[in-house]
Amino acid sequence: MTVVQKYGGTSVGSVERLRNVARRVAARAVDGEQIAVVVSAMGKTTDELLTLAREVNPRPPRRETDLLMATGEMVSSALLAMALVEMGCPAVALTGAQAGVFTDNTFGRARIRGIDTWRIEEEFAEGHVVVVAGFQGQSPQGDYATLGRGGSDTSAVALGAALKARQVEIYTDVQGIYTTDPRIEPQARCLRDIASEEMLEAAQQGAGVMHPRAVELGLLYDIPILVASSQAEFGSGGGTLIRGKVHMEPENRVRTIALDRDVASVTLRNVPDRPGIASQLFGPLADAGISVDTIVQNASELQLTDLTFTVTKDDWERTQEISKSLSAELGAANVLFDHDLVKVSLIGTGMQSGPGYAATMFRSLSDAGINIELITTSEIRITCLVRADRGEEAVRALHSAFQLDEDI
Ligand code: ADP
Ligand code: ASP
Ligand code: MG
The H-or-E segment that residue 195 falls in is strand 193-195
Task: Give the CATH number of domain 2-173.
Answer: 3.40.1160.10
Residue 211 Cα, ligand 1 centroid: separation in angstroms?
10
Residue nearest to atom 8 of ligand 2 (CA): 150
**Rounded to whole angstroms, what are the CA distances from 399 to 91, 196, 343, 362?**
44, 21, 15, 13
Whole-model pTM over 0.85: yes
Average pLDDT rounded to a whole number, residues 348-366: 88
Return the amino acid letter for 98: Q
Alpha-helix runs per DSSP H in 253-356: 277-287, 316-330
Task: Give the CATH number of domain 264-338.
Answer: 3.30.2130.10
Is there an atom of ligand 2 within 6 Å of 350 CB? no
Residue 275 Cα, ligand 3 centroid: separation in angstroms?
42
For residue 370, what is the DSSP state?
P
User: pLDDT-based confidence at 408, cuts 50/70/90?
Assistant: low
pLDDT tens digits, one per residue of 183-201: 999 999 999 999 999 999 9
Write down the pLDDT at residue 181.
97
Average pLDDT rounded to a whole number, residues 276-297: 85
Residue 208 Cα, ligand 1 centroid: separation in angstroms?
5
Write down the pLDDT at residue 370.
97
Residue nearest to atom 5 of ligand 2 (CA): 150
Residue nearest to atom 2 of ligand 1 (CA): 8
Please say whether the beta carbons of 237 and 367 come within 8 A.
no
pLDDT tens digits, one per residue of 155-179: 999 999 999 999 999 999 999 999 9
Read off φ and ψ for residue 382, nearest 5 degrees.
-125, 125
- Rounded CA-CA distance 45/232 in Å is 24
Average pLDDT rounded to a whole number, residues 360-377: 94
**Burial class of 44 by CB neighbour count within 10 A (0 to 12, 13 to 18, 19+):** middle
Average pLDDT rounded to a whole number, residues 314-338: 86
User: pLDDT-based confidence at 302, cuts 50/70/90?
Assistant: confident
For residue 106, what is the DSSP state?
-
Q: Ligand 1: which of 11, 14, 45, 209 to mutate, judged by most atoms within 8 Å of the beta carbon?
A: 209
- Rounded CA-CA distance 306/335 in Å is 10
Write down the pLDDT at residue 268.
87
Q: Which atom of ligand 1 sits closest to the CA of residue 207? A: 20
**Rounded to whole angstroms, what are the CA distances from 51 to 18, 57, 68, 208, 398?**
24, 10, 11, 21, 35
Is there an atom of ligand 2 within 6 Å of 13 CB? no
pLDDT tens digits, one per residue of 32-87: 789 999 999 999 999 999 999 999 999 999 999 999 999 999 999 999 999 999 99
The half-sphere exposure of 259 on its side-chain side, counting CA atoms within 13 A, is 25
- DSSP-based helix, strand, coil % in the chain, nearest 5: 35, 25, 35
Please say whether the beta carbons of 362 and 397 come within 8 A.
no
Dihedral sign computed on CA atoms, order 307, 313, 319, 323: positive
Residue 210 Cα, ligand 1 centroid: separation in angstroms?
7
Write down the pLDDT at residue 324.
86
Averaged pLDDT of the chain: 92
Dihedral sign computed on CA atoms, order 172, 176, 177, 180: negative
Residue 209 Cα, ligand 1 centroid: separation in angstroms?
3
Q: Which atom of ligand 2 sits closest to the CA of residue 73? A: 1
% pLDDT > 70, the chain? 97
Nearest to 96 by CA among 166, 47, 149, 36: 36
Q: Which atom of ligand 1 sits closest to the CA of residue 180? A: 23
Please say whether the beta carbons of 378 and 291 come within 8 A.
no
Ligand nearest to the CA of 152: 2
Q: Which atom of ligand 1 sits closest to the CA of residue 9? A: 2
Q: In what order do the strands lie in the sheet with 295-297?
A: 295-297, 304-311, 264-272, 334-338
Dihedral sign computed on CA atoms, order 19, 24, 28, 34: negative
Write down the pLDDT at residue 252.
59
Residue 137 Cα, ligand 2 centroid: separation in angstroms?
13
Return the amino acid letter for 192: R
The half-sphere exposure of 382 on its side-chain side, counting CA atoms within 13 A, is 20
* C-beta atoms surrounding 183 within 10 Å: 12
- Rounded CA-CA distance 69/76 in Å is 12
Q: In what order do the strands lie in the sheet with 136-138?
A: 112-115, 101-103, 136-138, 144-146
pLDDT tens digits, one per residue of 221-280: 999 999 999 988 777 778 999 998 765 555 558 999 999 999 999 998 888 887 887 888
Checking if the pLDDT of 291 tops 80, the result is: yes
Residue 361 Cα, ligand 3 centroid: separation in angstroms?
28
Is there an atom of ligand 2 within 6 Å of 149 CB? yes
> E strands within 29-148?
34-39, 91-94, 101-103, 112-115, 129-133, 136-138, 144-146
Please say whether the beta carbons of 297 and 374 come within 8 A.
no
SS (H, E, C) 233-276: CCCCCCCEEEECCCCCCCCCCCCEEEEECCCEEEEEEEEECCCC
Residue 107 Cα, ligand 3 centroid: separation in angstroms?
19
Q: Which atom of ligand 2 sits closest to the CA of residue 149? A: 9
Residue 167 Cα, ligand 1 centroid: separation in angstroms?
20
pLDDT tens digits, one per residue of 20-33: 999 999 998 887 78
Please say whether the beta carbons of 163 and 116 come within 8 A.
no
Domain spans in the chain, listed from the N-terminal domain onward: 2-173, 264-338
Residue nearest to atom 4 of ligand 2 (CA): 46
Measured from CB, residues less than 6 Å from any atom of ligand 1 are: 8-11, 40, 150, 172-174, 177-178, 180-183, 207-209, 256
Please say whether the beta carbons of 264 and 338 come within 8 A.
yes
For residue 178, what is the DSSP state?
B
